[in-house]
C-alpha cells in the first residue's frame, strides 16, 4: 500500500475516534438548559467527522484517479534510506531536547548548545568560528526579543536566577 493510503487510514482512524467522541461522549456533559439550543458543542464536529470519514475512505479505496508523477522537486519516499535520514532524526531529537531544556537551562545556554551541536551534526568542524557565531546569535536574539519585543525569556539557568 502506498504511503498516501496509509496516511488516509490513519486519518480515518482519527476521524472515527473524533466522531465517536462527538456523537456519543460529548453530549453527556451538556447542561440541561443548553439542550434546548438548536446548536450544541457537538453539532459542528459531527458534520466534520462524517465528511472526513467519507473523504478518507475515498482516498483509501482509491476512488480518485492517480495523479501524474510529481515534479523532481519532491523527495522520493521509497528511497528514504538513501537520504540523510540519520541527520534529520538527530536534529529532531535536538529540537526536543531544546524544548525540554529551554526553561531549566535558560535561553542563552540552550540556544548556544543547539546551534553548535546542530551545525556539528551537519559536519561543521571549524569550532573557532562556529562557537562565536552561535554566541553572538543567541545573545542578539535574546536582546531583540527581551528588549525590543518586550517578551520575557529567562536568559540564565534556573539555579542562577
Partner 1 sequence: MLDGIWIGLSTAFSFSNLLMVIGGCLIGTFIGMLPGLGPMSIIAIMIPVAISIGDPSAALILLAGVYYGAIFGGSTSSILINAPGVASTVATSFDGYPLARQGKAGKALTVAAIASFAGGSIGAILLMIFAPALASVALLFHSAEYFALMVVGLSAIAAFAGSGQVAKALLMTLVGLMMATVGEGALFNQPRFTMGILDLQSGFGFITLAMAMFALPEALFLVLDPSRSNSGGNGGDIKDLRITKEEAKKITPVIGRQSIQGFLIGVLPGAGATIASFLGYAVERNIAPKEEQAEFGKGSVKGLAAPESANNAACTGSFVPLLTLGIPGSGTTAILLGALIALNVSPGPRLMVDQPEIFWSVIISMYVGNVILLILNLPLIPYIAKVLAVPRNYLIPFILFFTLMGAYIGQNNATELLMLVGFGVCATLLRFANYPLAPLLIGFILGSMLEDNFSRSMQLYDGIGFILERPMTMGLLALAVILVVLPTIRARRVRKQELQAAESD
Instruction: Quote the least distance from Cβ 128 to partner 1, whole Å.
Output: 14
Instruction: Quote the least distance from Cβ 160 to partner 1, whole Å.
Output: 18
Closest CB to partner 1 among residues 152, 159: 152
Closest CB to partner 1 among residues 124, 157: 124
Query: 126 to each of 95, 121, 141, how far by Cα in Å?
Result: 22, 12, 22
List Cβ neighbours of 142 (8 Å cut-off, separation of 6 or more): 107, 108, 111, 153, 155
Closest CB to partner 1 among residues 36, 159: 36
Instruction: Quote the least distance from Cβ 62 to partner 1, whole Å.
Output: 10
Amino acid at each position: 500500500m502506498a504511503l498516501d493510503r496509509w496516511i488516509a487510514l490513519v486519518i480515518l482512524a482519527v476521524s472515527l475516534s473524533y466522531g465517536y467522541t462527538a456523537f456519543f461522549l460529548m453530549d453527556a456533559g451538556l447542561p440541561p438548559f443548553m439542550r434546548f439550543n438548536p446548536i450544541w458543542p457537538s453539532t459542528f464536529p459531527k458534520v466534520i467527522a462524517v465528511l472526513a470519514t467519507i473523504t478518507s475512505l475515498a482516498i483509501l479505496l482509491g476512488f480518485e484517479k492517480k495523479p501524474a508523477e510529481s515534479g523532481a522537486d519532491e523527495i522520493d519516499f521509497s528511497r528514504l534510506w538513501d537520504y540523510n535520514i540519520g541527520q534529520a532524526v538527530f536534529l529532531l531529537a535536538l529540537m526536543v531536547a531544546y524544548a525540554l531544556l529551554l526553561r531549566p537551562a535558560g535561553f542563552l545556554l540552550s540556544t548556544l548548545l543547539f546551534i553548535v551541536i546542530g551545525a556539528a551534526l551537519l559536519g561543521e568542524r571549524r569550532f573557532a568560528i562556529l562557537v562565536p557565531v552561535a554566541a553572538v546569535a543567541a545573545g542578539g536574539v535574546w536582546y531583540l526579543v527581551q528588549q525590543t519585543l518586550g517578551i520575557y525569556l529567562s536568559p540564565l539557568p534556573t539555579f542562577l536566577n
